[in-house]
Structure 1
Amino acid sequence: SVRLAQIQAENTDAMFVLLSDVWLDNSRVMEKLNTLFKGYADFPPTAFIICGNFLSSPKVMSHAKTLKDCFHDLGSLLSNYPKLISTSHLVFVPGPNDPGHSTILPRPTIPNSITESFRKKVPGAVFTSNPCRIQYCTLEIVIFREDIV
C-alpha cells in the first residue's frame, strides 16, 4: 500500500537484530544477551529476531522443562528493559533441536506450555514456525533456520 511505503521511507532508522543459536541454558550467552539488551535499551530496534536452537545440547527427556525454565529466565532478564518490551517486536523462530518434529517443514512453534511464563512478562512476543515470513511495511522477510552442513 502507498501508506506502508510512505512509513517505510520515513523510518530510515528501522533496524532488525537477528540472532541464532541463542542457547538460553548457557550463562555466558545470558550475560551477552543482557549486554546486548542494555546497549539497545535507549534506541530499541524495530525487531529482535531470535532463532534457536535455544538449548546447547540435543533433545533429552528433560528438554521441555529446561527450556521452560530458560524462557522464564529470559523473561526476567527482559523485564529489566521495559522500553524494549514495549517498543521492539520480539520474534522467536525454533531451531532443528527445539521441541517439535525436526524432520517436517514448517517446524511448529514452541509450545505455549513452554513459553507461558515468558509471555506473561513479554506479552507482545511472537513465537513463529520455521520457516516464517515477517512483513515490515512493503518488505517481506523470510527466516529459515536450518543446519545445512
Structure 2
Amino acid sequence: MLSGFASCQPIAFVFCGNFCSTAAPENEKNLIAVLISGGFHDLAEIIKEKTQVQNQLAKTQFIFIPGPDDPSLSGFLPKPRLPSYLVDVFMDIPNCKFSSNPCRIQYASREITIIRQDIIERMSRNSIHVPSDAVDIANHFCRTIASVGHLAPLPLNVSPVLWQMDHCLTIFPLPDLVVVADRFQSFAINQHGCLFANPGSFARSGLDFYVYYPALNEVELSRIPS
C-alpha cells in the first residue's frame, strides 16, 4: 500500500484496530500486547524506510486508532489512545499520531469523524425492526446515527460509555464524513449531507480499503493486489 501511494502522497493513512487478530483469554492479555508490539516494530521499520531512507511519504501522517479489543485502560467509549508501551517504537517517527477512539480530524474545511467499533451488529440485535437485507441494515443504521446525532445510541449495558465523556460521541451538527470502521460489509451512504462510510474489515474483505477525496467528499473502494 505504501509503495502504491509513494508517487502521489496522501495527506494521511488511518489505521484502525484491532491490531491483533488473535483472541486471548483474560488471563493471557499480555500475549496480545507482545504480538501487537512485535507487529508495530515491523511496521515502524517499513515507515522509516519509506519516509526517512527513500524520502517518500515524508509529509504523510500515519494515524492509529485503537480497536475494541486492543489493550487499554478502559473498555468503555470513548477509548483512550494506545498505551505508550505498545507504540514507543514509533516515537522517533514525527508523522505518526496516536488518537483516541473516536477520532476527529479537520482537513481544510472538511470535518471528519472516525469511530472503530462493531456497533452495527449490536444495534441490529437490539432493534425492534430488523431490515431484511444488508443494504437496508446499512441505510437504517446511517439514518439512525444521523437522526440522533450520536455514535453509540444504545443502552449503557449494551454499549458502555464513560458518561462524563459522552459529549465526545456526539455528531451534532453532522460532520462532512463519518467513518464507521465496523466488521460489517463495506458501504458509503449519504444522509442529510453527511457521508457515512464503512470500509469493512481489511483482513476479511481481501485487503480492501477506502480512499477519501476531500474536494469531492467522496470515497473510492481500493484493494491491494494479491
Task: Give the TM-score normalised by structure 2.
Answer: 0.47
Of 105, 118, 133 in structure 1, the residue corresponding to residue 104 of structure 2 is 133
Question: Counterpart of 1:68 in structure 2: which amino acid?
Answer: S
1-side partners of 2:56 and 2:10: how far apart? 8
Deviation at 1:77, TM superposition (A): 1.2
1-side partners of 2:5 and 2:117: how far apart? 27
Structure number with bigger Rg: 2
Instruction: Confirm or deny that 1:144 pairs with 2:115.
Output: yes
For the residue of structure 2 that corresponds to 1:54, the secondary structure is coil
For the residue of structure 2 that corresponds to 1:61, the secondary structure is helix
Deviation at 1:85, TM superposition (A): 4.5
Deviation at 1:115, TM superposition (A): 0.5
Instruction: Confirm or deny that 1:115 pairs with 2:92.
Output: no
2-side partners of 1:127 and 1:81: how far apart? 19
> Whose strand proportion is higher, 1 or 2?
2
Q: Could you tell me which residue of structure 2 aligns to residue 89 of structure 1?
A: 61
1:49–1:90: 8 Å Cα contact kept in structure 2?
A: yes
Deviation at 1:78, TM superposition (A): 1.4
2:66–2:101: 8 Å Cα contact kept in structure 1?
A: yes
Of 8, 29, 37 in structure 2, the residue corresponding to residue 68 of structure 1 is 37
Give every structure 1 segment of 4 or more consecutive aligned residues whose post-TM-superposition deviation is greater than 2 Å.
58-61
Task: Give the TM-score normalised by structure 1.
Answer: 0.69
Cα distance change, pair 84–132 in 1 and its aligned pair in 2 (3 A): farther
> Whose helix proportion is higher, 1 or 2?
1
1-side partners of 2:59 and 2:44: how far apart? 15
Question: Counterpart of 1:54 in structure 2: which amino acid?
Answer: F
2-side partners of 1:77 and 1:46: how far apart? 18
**What number of residue pairs does the alignment pair up?**
113
CA RMSD of aligned residues (A): 1.6
For the residue of structure 2 that corresponds to 1:38, the secondary structure is coil
